[in-house]
Amino acid sequence: MSTGKNEFKQWIGRTETACDDLTIAPILAMAAMLDKNNMVYGKGDQLPPLWHWLFFLNPAKQSNLAKDGHPERGDFLPPIPLPRRMWAGSRFDFHQPLCIGEKVSRQSTIKSITFKEGRSGNLAFVCVRHEISGELGLSISEEHDIVYRCHIPADSPPSLPSPAPTNCDFSKNVDPDPVLLFRYSALTFNGHRIHYDRDYVTQEEGYPGLIVHGPLLATLMIELFGDQYSDKQLTKFEFTAMNPVFDLDPFQVCGLDANKDNIAKLWVKDHTGSLCMKGSATISQQ
């Protein structure tokens, strides 16, 4: 890498704090985008899991955006000189529900920065820990893994994805058309061009189509899980992105029933049967 790794150590431990109100408008829009049967939400209702991503948005000035549509690095996140940035995964502990209408705060801390040499070049992993609190105290602990990588040469051999499990207890087919991706980008104020700019994602980054957001895939997994366990309280959730999902073909969200430890396995597979995201959800024993 052109920049010394040691200089990024000073970013570890850096913090920032944000505040927001859990207003109703983005929640109704999210419910519509997900085709929820229940479109009635009001003050005091519990915020569904992962819908906190609709809040604490970063309103970066247009002049402060990088070529890829993300805010320029170097404010809170370190200015790692690798062009591709992707959401690699997250881990959550749900301590108590957030409720619509609450005033909420989030403290974010850079927990670690790790450099690795991958098959396709240099990689950098940044782990950010978020502590999200409502009016009654800590509600969600989240660790967010961000991966930075170099562009893959056009003549590089494609990676061989792992096959997804063939058996599941519940599943849902999803057709990721560009309107779905646009609406999720708009709801989360995500300017990353790989999700809506086909010329950019194919010509600049070398992908075959628009990329379905990792957080959207995770949300679809937890929504499917919630449909099966609507009477249970979610206590933990984690997911890891394995391979990109493109808007060119339908994909499937799948899961297995919770085991004796109250843990359910979840995954996303593409039209070829390749594993694209894996995760697990833990429910309370009550």
Tens digit of pLDDT for each residue in 237-253? 999 999 999 999 999 99
pLDDT confidence bin for 128, thresholds 50/70/90: very high
Separation of alpha carbons 88 and 147, rounded Å: 6
How many Cβ atoms are within 10 Å of 240's Cβ, its own excluded? 17
Q: pLDDT tens for residues 71-95? A: 877 678 888 888 888 899 999 999 9
Q: DSSP state, 29? A: H
Assess contact for 187 and 54: CB atoms under 8 A.
yes
**Alpha-helical regions (H) of the chain:** 24-33, 178-187, 198-199, 214-228
pLDDT confidence bin for 1, thresholds 50/70/90: very low
Separation of alpha carbons 119 and 17, rounded Å: 36
pLDDT at 7: 78
pLDDT at 160: 79
- Percentage above 70 pLDDT, the chain: 94
Q: Which residues pair with 264 in a beta bridge?
A: 281
Separation of alpha carbons 198 and 185, rounded Å: 14
Average pLDDT over residues 108-131: 89
The number of CA neighbours under 13 Å toward the Cβ of 218 is: 25
Separation of alpha carbons 81 and 149, rounded Å: 9
The whole model's pTM is what? 0.93
Q: pLDDT tens for residues 179-229? A: 999 999 999 999 999 999 999 999 988 899 999 999 999 999 999 999 999
Average pLDDT over residues 150-161: 67
pLDDT at 2: 44
Average pLDDT over residues 15-43: 92
pLDDT at 173: 97
From residue 226, give the alpha-carbon distance in Å to each of 22, 203, 237, 257: 21, 38, 12, 12
pLDDT at 109: 97
pLDDT at 150: 81
Separation of alpha carbons 101 and 20, rounded Å: 10
183 phi, psi to nearest 5 deg = -65, -40
Q: Which amino acid is at 263?
A: I
Q: pLDDT tens for residues 259-276? A: 999 999 999 999 999 999
Rounded mean pLDDT of the chain?
Answer: 91
pLDDT at 4: 56
Query: Is the pLDDT reported for residue 6 higher than 90?
Result: no
pLDDT at 154: 54
